[in-house]
Structure 1
Amino acid sequence: MYASNTFARTEVQALNGYNAGLSIEAVQERHGVLRVAKLGSNENPLGISPKALAALTAEAHQAALYPNQSCGILRNALAHKLAIDGKNLVFGNGSEDLLSIICRVFLDHGDQVVTILPSFGLHIIYPQAAGAEVIGVPMGSDMRVDVQALMAAMTPRTRLLMFSSPSNPVGSALNSAELQYVIDNLPPHTLLVFDEAYFEYANGEADYPDCLEMLQKSQCHYIVLRTFSKAYALAGLRIGYGITSDPALAELIDRLRTPFNVNRCAQAAATAALADNEHLIASIQHVRSERSRINKVLQQDLGLQPIPSLANFIFFSSPLAVDSVNLSLLQQGVITKPWAEAGYRQFLRVSIGSCEDNNLFLQALENALHQ
């Protein structure tokens, strides 16, 4: 009698599952709490924009019809906003979908992928699933990307250099000089997959460069990934996009994506959200204001040292065992994300939520640290 797992490829049998975090319902049922602050998934506490909601509602009556497989209207709107050729754009069921497709298109057994540690889990899981070896380069003691160590890890087998900036889970980001160092030292046989899921929150900050402009001026082969899940508040609709250095890269990705991988409601809502600059600005301003307030409390009142972040979350080390702190937070109705990656298990990541949810988190954390 064969065991069920023997039917799977060897690489899949060895994979760790992605830690997607807990739902509100699961915490309510498990811990008997009514009020839950969901601060583990980096969602937008302001919710969907009114314009996007109206577009979503108007499109719902067309749900019986297949969507535009090329995301035509959204493609044109994004191409205009980014001042690029629409042929350089690819779309996915969230940028996570594109990560999966990219790994299946460009990786094979014997290839290597270089990424940073701590890492967004899918930057490791998807390459491993494709049979590639993943080389993780730890951040420096300041919890910033060590670009010299990163580029020193390149070998003739390095097919992809894939990491996020701002980093998930840390929140730190490359500055102009650091990105230029990566560009100048990227081997010609390596494709840069630059994950900017948190771009909107970092854009405009003093130390954050115009990464797309710098890459466009280079000779690099690249794919810049962005999403409508975070600042645009469409996480539940699953829609992300990639900007490629060459239409040929986009065409290769399109060969392996499913024909209708972005549903018509998501396309309509994303197009409307892209045009609702007022809601985007309000979302960014809320995060920056609350992030500053939470950092101040963590440092001055709780004696912690959160990592400076340009994203909509904060990464901090706990002086007590993370498992006990996390359990205490859950029992008080607060979901955060204790980091499970080896070498970083003393850290938690907390999303910036509503003012009320943030207050609940700060009080619950104080209770957890002094119980």
Structure 2
Amino acid sequence: MQKYIELLRKPMQVKPESLRAARQKSSSTPPHVYRLNYNESPYGLGPLSEEALEKAIKTPYVYPDWFSVELKTNIAKLYDLDFENVVVGPGSSAMINMLGELFINPGDEFIFGDPSYEAFRDVANDYGAVTVPVPLDDDMNYDLDAMLAAVTDKTKILVVVNPNNPTGTFIDSKKLEDFIRKVPKHVITVIDEAYLEFVTDENCYSMLKLIKEGIDKPLVIMKTFSKIYGMAGLRVGYAITDPVMADHFGKSSNAWNVSFIGQKTAAAATLDQEHVSMVKNINAQERDKVTKVLRSLNCKVYDSQTNFILFKAPIDNMEVYAKLEEQDVLIGAPIGMNRVSLGKPEMNEKFIKIMKEILS
């Protein structure tokens, strides 16, 4: 038996190993290595957020505003919401952990798509929930009917990641709206929109509209500054929900722990929408380019609306991973396939060059 394991909470004593790559090995890499495996934005901060960061780092001795008033106010203005609709936390992973800390009792059922973002499976296991993974179909799309059929009286949380990670695919938002309205009121419906800002298909839009309409059920929309805003290292995530649910989130210590530097940079980032549009447009161009090349190399490529692409090469996925790693390009290797994050054009060109060498 592992030493001191009896001191852990019971769910942690029996928790299975996380499937997240970030939980399995160090993410530390030399500067010359291309990290096309973590879905980071290589374009970094916009001019306003960069200026705010440079100013904030001069006063690291200052405690943050525990209520994050400026940040919440700016997020509310960005989406034309009320201040009371906004919850913030030190990264989207911390926001996900709040779901377990606040709402999960041992034995509660937790429904999610499979494959999807593994942080949700992790938090279910962390707090003793019964995981209910619902397989995606052959095209890596959510089976919403199957998810609805999986709901029981014991279901506490149901999660949809849209667009989905690691597949990059999305659910038609009108269908998702209809689905959310059908979920029973005793279930907390969580929509993770971490990658929504990269979407160019008009059929995929935010479920914030349901919050604005005052939908009468517990609905939580999760978002992040880690992706298109280029702030993954500063750890700022947020959720939009109704004021009563937002007040419940405030009972978690994570809701009070966004750093001073993170708050100031993120608050400014909400005003950097020209930068966001630039990143979105370049990403879309690179996504189309890389998709076409991979398909020309006889790879099965899933249509993506994100800053990454899931593909199945005609050779083993770990061989693809290893050959790219040999030339200082890191990509992901989930679910027997490969996932490549979209970098700057020169980074993507190096990836394409190596892939042509591997598969030619």
Which category describes the TM-score, using the shorter chain as reference length? over 0.9
**Does the alignment pair 1:351 with 2:341?**
yes
Secondary structure of 1:62's counterpart equals coil
Count how many residue pairs are aligned between Structure 1 and Structure 2. Answer: 356
| Equivalent residue in structure 2 for 1:257, among 230, 253, 258 | 253
Q: 1:368 to 1:257 in 2, by over 3 A?
A: farther
**2:17 match:** 16
Q: Does 1:321 align with 2:316?
A: yes
* Matched AA of 2:266: A
Q: CA RMSD in A?
A: 1.8
Distance change (3 Å), C-alpha of 1:170 and 1:324:
same
Please give the alpha-carbon distance, in whole angstroms, between the structure 1 residues aligned to 2:325 and 2:189.
38
CA offset at residue 260 of structure 1? 3.9
Give the superposition deviation at 1:12: 1.5
Q: Please list every run of 5 or more consecutive structure 2 residues that lacks an aligned counterpart in the other structure.
A: none
Match of 2:177 among 177, 180, 183: 180
Question: Deviation digits for residues 194-227 of structure 1, max 9, x if unmatched?
Answer: 100012112x522213421135433331110000
Task: State the SS of the aligned residue for 1:159.
Answer: strand
Paired residue for 1:303, among 294, 298, 301? 298
- Distance change >3 Å, CA 2–CA 201, structure 1 → 2: closer
Determine if contact 1:334/1:364 at 8 Å carries over to the other structure.
Answer: no
Judging changes above 3 Å, is the alpha-carbon distance between structure 1 residues 66 and 37 closer, same or farther for their aligned structure 2 residues? same
- Name which of structure 1's ranges 114-123 and 256-265 shifts more when overlaid on structure 2: 256-265
Identity level (%): 30
CA distance in 2, matches of 1:2, 1:149: 39
Match of 1:199 in 2: 196
**Contact 1:59/1:264, CA 8 A, preserved across alignment:** yes
Structure 1 residue 108 corresponds to structure 2 residue 110:
no
Does the aligned pair in 1 maintain the 2:193–2:206 contact within 8 Å?
no
1:214 correspondence with 2:222: no
Cα deviation 1:284-330 (Å, max 9, x = unaligned)? 01110000000010112x11121111111101112222222211110
Q: What is the CA distance between 1:369 and its match in structure 2?
A: 3.1
Structure 2 equivalent of residue 31 of structure 1: none
Contact kept? 2:98, 2:254, Cα under 8 Å: no
C-alpha displacement at 1:138, in angstroms?
Answer: 0.8
Aligned twin of 2:41: 44
> Shift in Å at residue 45 of structure 1?
1.6
Q: In the aligned structure 2, how far is the partner of 1:250 from the partner of 1:24?
A: 32
SS of the residue 1:110 aligns to: coil
Out of 163, 184, 198, the residue aligned to residue 160 of structure 2 is: 163
Matched-pair contact (CA < 8 Å) for 1:22–1:335? no
* 2:204 counterpart letter in structure 1: Y
SS in 2 for 1:169: coil
Offset at residue 65 of structure 1 (A)? 1.6
Distance 1:173 1:369 in 2: 29
Aligned partner of residue 17 in structure 2, secondary structure:
coil
- 2:289 paired residue number: 293
Report the CA distance between 1:8 and its aligned residue. Answer: 1.8
Please give the alpha-carbon distance, in whole angstroms, between the structure 1 residues aligned to 2:225 and 2:255. 20
- Spell out, residue by residue over 1:119-173, the C-alpha distance to the aligned partner (whole angstroms, 9 max, x if none): 2111100111111011011111121111111111111111001121000111111
Deviates more, 1:290-299 or 1:265-274: 265-274
AA aligned opposite 1:352: L
Q: Per-residue deviation at 1:2? A: 7.4
Task: Please give the alpha-carbon distance, in whole angstroms, between the structure 2 residues aligned to 1:207 and 1:242.
Answer: 22
Counterpart of 1:171, as a letter, is G
- Measured in 2, the distance between the counterparts of 1:159 and 1:328 equals 43
Give the counterpart letter for 1:11 in structure 2.
P
Amino acid at match of 2:356: E
Contact 2:189 2:218 in 1 (8 A): yes
Q: Which residue, out of 360, 366, 370, partners 2:350?
A: 360
The answer to whether the Cα contact below 8 Å between 2:283 and 2:307 also exists between their aligned partners in 1 is: yes
SS, match of residue 57 in structure 2: helix
Where do 5+ consecutive residues of structure 1 fail to align? 29-33
Is the CA contact 2:177–2:207 (under 8 Å) kept in the aligned structure 1? Answer: no
In 2: Cα distance, 1:23 partner to 1:285 partner: 31
Does the 8 Å CA contact 1:166/1:310 hold for their aligned counterparts? yes
Partner of 2:136: 139
**Partner AA of 1:16 in structure 2:** E
SS at 2:340's partner residue? Answer: strand
